[in-house]
Amino acid sequence: EPEVTQTPSHQVTQMGQEVILRCVPISNHLYFYWYRQILGQKVEFLVSFYNNEISEKSEIFDDQFSVERPDGSNFTLKIRSTKLEDSAMYFCASSEGSLEYGYTFGSGTRLTVV
Amino acid sequence: AQTVTQSQPEMSVQEAETVTLSCTYDTSESNYYLFWYKQPPSRQMILVIRQEAYKQQNATENRFSVNFQKAAKSFSLKISDSQLGDTAMYFCAFMTYNYGQNFVFGPGTRLSVLP
């Protein structure tokens, strides 16, 4: 069964550093997403991406964050100047665009900012 | 705004028994989709079951079934013959085309299946 692949599985970074979280969506999917889950809390929407541009973003997704699809397969989330409160699990997801099937989520990247 | 509420932060059930997890939601949309996702200790998000709001028939997937009450905006998950591998966090989620096809998740219910 096709999978969404996220790397790394765990990243530790110092406060103020930049991090890039990487995702390889399912190849025939057209919509890409990033979600965040702070430990012990619910999963929150960050951003959706379609046709090489952001289609929607939440209040969490401020100027500190950016997304990019640098080639035909990768989808990245960049966090500039990380803060302690950015520590969370970050999930990438992709979909064909039909709500009927929801998304396929990746296994997540655990980001720890120290 | 769309909201999803799960009123049971934690539940436990004996192996082989049945358990029901509650979920209510609030929306003014008429066409939407509801999902239950499971998050085991590995923290991966795994789709358990989905329901289209325009379908009156309750969805079932093997040991998992839902009780969808559209008028009451209720979407509960029933797990029959509970297994130890069902131990996980369960999230109810809502999605609609008019909300950018983005999930709104509930806060989750932590289910423990006891041997």
Secondary structure (DSSP) of B39-100:
E-TT---EEEEEEETT--SPPEETTEEEEEETTTTEEEEEE-S--GGG-EEEEEEEE-GGGT
pLDDT higher than 90, residue A96: no
- Close Cβ partners of A64 (under 8 Å, ≥ 6 residues apart): A79, A80, A81, A83, A86
Residues of A in contact with B93 (CB under 8 A): 102
Put simply, the chain A residues between 45 and 104 with a CB less than 8 A from any chain B CB are 45, 48, 55-56, 89, 91, 93, 95, 97, 99-104
Count CB-CB contacts under 10 A for residue B50. Answer: 19
**Cβ B49 vs Cβ B34: under 8 Å:** no
- Judged by CB atoms closer than 8 Å, whether chains meet at B95 and A102 is answered as yes
Please indicate whether, in this complex, the C-beta atoms of B45 and A89 are within 8 angstroms of each other: no
Mean pLDDT estimate for chain B: 92
Task: Compare CB distances from B107 to A42, A105, A106 and report the shortest one's residue.
Answer: A42
From chain B, pick out residues whose CB is under 8 angstroms from the CB of A55: 100
Average pLDDT across chain A, whole number: 92
Rounded Cα distance between B34 and B72, Å, is 14
**B11 pLDDT exceeds 90?**
yes
> Which among B36, B102, B104 is the top mutation candidate for probing chain A, defined by the most A β-carbons within 10 Å of its own β-carbon?
B102
Q: pLDDT per residue over B82-113, tens digit each?
A: 999 999 999 999 888 765 668 899 999 999 99
Assign B44 a pLDDT band (cuts: 50, 70, 90). confident
In this predicted structure, what is the pLDDT of residue A13? 97
Cα A57-B35-A107 angle, rounded to 5 deg: 65
Which chain A positions have a beta carbon within 8 Å of B104's beta carbon?
Answer: 45
Q: Cβ contacts (< 8 Å) between A97 and chain B: which residues?
A: 101
